[in-house]
Structure 1
Amino acid sequence: MIPVAKPHITAGDAKAVSAVVLSGWIIQGPKVEEFEKRVAGYVGVRYAVATSSATTAMHLGFIACGIGKGDEVIVPSMSFIASPNSIVHAGATPVFADINERTYNVDPEDVERNITKKTKAILAVHQIGLPADMEALTRIAKKYDLMVFEDAACGLGAKIGNAYVGSFGTWSAFSFHPRKTVTTGEGGILVTNNQEIAEKVRMLRQHGASVSVYSRHTDKGIVRESYPIIGYNFRMSDIHAALGISQFRRINSLLKSRQNLAKRYDEALSGQPNIIIPYVPPGYTHTYQSYMIRLPGSGGKIRNKVMQHLLKHGIATRAGVMSAHLEKPYKTMYPNLRLPVTERVSRETLILPLYAQMRQKEQDCVIDQLKKALG
């Protein structure tokens, strides 16, 4: 079976994790601190706070910025459900906007149409690794005095010009799930240039404690922590961070491998009249967390037929990114909401196998069977 995704794990990764396990310090500690510094330096921001997932990073980010009950945050529906869920967990209300039909990222014009007196922020999602239109979104936010946050779960390494995704918003969140370019097994991180936000998120992730467990254990004097705020247990462990550090050392080669594989897909599929390959605007760098094609027409029937054919021949695929507003919790919240572009694209898109260590023979098999399925 050719999987749709596979983490790139080496003997060096295993050795790094083993060293932490044998060290006796396995919870949040020096490896988490090192990992945070590496990510912040790479993205080009001052602070990074590691958490248990990108979802919890966003949840804490909203709270740290005072987003809560009675507030609205505009977000694309075409995103993994964690994006709106994190808004709801903070006590605020997600307001869904439609997408651009070429990039599959949120449409700035529809964002502006959805702004109300309750709107406090825009959550930009860099869909499957392609940066959103941050220039337009930032301009709209400035016009209406809103904050802009980045759901960069899939976007580590993506760029607009020379600026990395994660450096545009008040805060940004990255994921290190096994499908991502760099993985910690499970984990996320919030990055920001705002010291106050970083400090508050650090407290919130560890039950609201004024100092971390590691700081208490390494201080030369007696340290008594206090709990001035009610927090959560959203910490990353040193075991997870050790894997992330080891992986991070080869982030450039991992990204390059994905981009080269995506280029091979582009070259093989661009001449097919019934396939729309990914569009990347000039000056944008895509991470290709996933390679998603579109099979237009028939309300998704063609897509489903192709998925079944590929599965029969040992090739795993996934349906395109969901329309979150059609999932039960949000359909109940917005029973009459229609987002025509989002719904059409979700029905017609298909994610093909792509991972850094994918062999050309495997990719050629996918391409060959895809063409046969489309006849």
Structure 2
Amino acid sequence: MIPWLGEEEAEAAAEAVRSGWVAQGPRVAEFERAFAAEVGAAHGVAVSSGTTALHLGLVALGVKAGDEVVVPSLSFIATANAARYVGATPVFADVDPVTGNLTPETITAVLTPRTRAVILVHQGGVPADLDALRGLCADRGLALLEDAACAAGVRYRDQPVGAGAQVAAWSFHPRKLLTTGEGGMVTTDDAEFAARMRRLREHGMNVSAADRHASTKPVLEAYLETGFNYRMTDIQAAVGLVQLRKLAPTVAERRRLAARYQRELADIKGLTPVTDPEYGQTNYQSFWVHLDERFPVTRDDLLLRLSDAGVSARRGIMAAHLEPAYADVSTPRLPATEDLSLNSLILPVFHGMTDGQQDRVVAVLKGLGGD
């Protein structure tokens, strides 16, 4: 993933520096409003990373020590870590082998009386089946935090992912389609959740530093609860506002590149490319292919062949339950998760990728798996 950054972002960042307001300030507030509107939410709360967005989301939802939180193992480890940050226990669930996302069946299989919440991930930009998952959580009285770290520009039944979410967490890491370097956002339709998360990101203060500095009279702030330093800077938000204007063409170009991959790779036995689910449109944040026993080499061998050809590919999405950090968590076999993690790889897709660059990737794959 190569970020699409240019002179417009550089100038926006420089203008923020020249303004003298480089910490959380008016550009952050503008970015919050614009991003929330883009994803169909009433409120946006800008934070320092997608991970801190997940943490604040769980705090706002009331998840605490002793609770269990169902999470997909097939996700970057921050998803599971967020549950531990609030003292809860992550419980790993399997995923659908095609979309890589949680399903009502995989969640139900691991529910216990201690289950308090579910973190669903729109994995690699593939939308989860929101109607089914939101309905399950509502029926069971479970809080639902949507990990939309990879989901900017993703659509579910003609609505942006984020519309109607109880709480959704977003990432603006450089590997994401919309980047602020580091940074994240929490979106919600709940005004009380948003107000509390704004306090919590700023040490629990009852008045923001920006509002305090803007006041013409002395302000004596109070600290209402133990909070965190999870603020975004105005420099980051200035870049984010430019990036937000590029989101639609970025998604359109990635979908064009993905469609070209899908056409070119369609006849290779043992190789299945990721595609849109019937209920939504992915942004192809990650374009992965899954290998089965018919493909002539292993995933790791293929990564080496691609590297030798000058192609930078990556292993498939990690399985958190197989990592040393979670060796103490008793988890049954998760067959779809383990298969996807061990037998898939992520092919390069980036803005400005040429047909020739893509053809080089396709040539390696066809050279191994073609008839």
TM-score (norm 2): 0.97
* One-letter identity of the residue aligned with 2:27: K
1:17 aligns with 2:13: yes
Structure 2 CA distance, aligned partners of 1:115 and 1:299? 36
Contact 1:72–1:93 (CA under 8 A) maintained in structure 2: yes
The count of corresponding residues between Structure 1 and Structure 2 is 370
Q: Summarize the alignment of residues 3-42 of structure 1 with structure 2, pairs less than 5 Å apart.
A: 5-42=1-38
* One-letter identity of the residue aligned with 2:72: P
Deviation, 1:298, is 8.6
**Match among 330, 343, 348 for residue 348 of structure 1:** 343
Structure 2 CA distance, aligned partners of 1:251 and 1:277? 23
Question: Unpaired segments of 5 or more residues in structure 2?
Answer: none
Residue in 2 that maps onto 1:235: 231
* One-letter identity of the residue aligned with 1:366: V
**Match among 42, 45, 53 for residue 57 of structure 1:** 53
Structure 2 CA distance, aligned partners of 1:370 and 1:239? 42
Structure 1 CA distance, aligned partners of 2:17 and 2:294? 53
Structure 1 CA distance, aligned partners of 2:159 and 2:326? 34
1:149 aligns with 2:141: no
Q: CA RMSD in A?
A: 1.5
1:357 aligns with 2:348: no
**Match among 98, 101, 106 for residue 102 of structure 1:** 98
**Match among 247, 253, 256 for residue 252 of structure 2:** 256
**Match among 83, 102, 107 for residue 111 of structure 1:** 107
Deviations 1:206-254 (A, max 9, x none): 1111111111111222222111111111111111111110111121111
Structure 1 CA distance, aligned partners of 2:159 and 2:110? 28
Residue in 2 that maps onto 1:193: 189
Contact 1:105–1:126 (CA under 8 A) maintained in structure 2: yes
Structure 1 CA distance, aligned partners of 2:221 and 2:180? 28
Structure 1 CA distance, aligned partners of 2:62 and 2:258? 40
Structure 1 CA distance, aligned partners of 2:275 and 2:97? 10
Q: Summarize the alignment of residues 1-375 of structure 1 with structure 2, pairs less than 5 Å apart.
A: 5-297=1-293, 302-334=298-330, 336-374=331-369
Q: Which has the larger displacement, 81-90 or 131-140?
A: 131-140
Structure 1 CA distance, aligned partners of 2:23 and 2:368? 49
Deviations 1:76-116 (A, max 9, x none): 11011010001111111111110111111113202012111
Deviation, 1:62, is 0.7
* One-letter identity of the residue aligned with 1:193: D
Structure 1 CA distance, aligned partners of 2:297 and 2:357? 26
Deviations 1:306-348 (A, max 9, x none): 10011111111110001111111212222x5311111111111
Contact 2:22–2:235 (CA under 8 A) maintained in structure 1: yes
Structure 2 CA distance, aligned partners of 1:152 and 1:63? 17
Q: Which has the larger displacement, 318-327 or 130-139?
A: 130-139
Structure 2 CA distance, aligned partners of 1:87 and 1:356? 34
Deviation, 1:300, is 11
Label 1:23 to 1:373 Cα distance change in 2 as closer, same or farther (>3 A): farther
TM-score (norm 1): 0.96
Question: Unpaired segments of 5 or more residues in structure 1?
Answer: none
Contact 1:25–1:238 (CA under 8 A) maintained in structure 2: yes
Structure 1 CA distance, aligned partners of 2:48 and 2:301? 37
* Secondary structure class of the residue paired with 2:193: helix
Structure 2 CA distance, aligned partners of 1:160 and 1:366? 30
Contact 1:108–1:133 (CA under 8 A) maintained in structure 2: no
Contact 2:165–2:189 (CA under 8 A) maintained in structure 1: no
Structure 2 CA distance, aligned partners of 1:300 and 1:332? 36
Label 1:232 to 1:300 Cα distance change in 2 as closer, same or farther (>3 A): farther
Structure 1 CA distance, aligned partners of 2:175 and 2:367? 27
Structure 2 CA distance, aligned partners of 1:70 and 1:152? 25
Q: Sequence identity, in percent?
A: 41
Contact 2:296–2:369 (CA under 8 A) maintained in structure 1: no
Deviation, 1:145, is 1.1
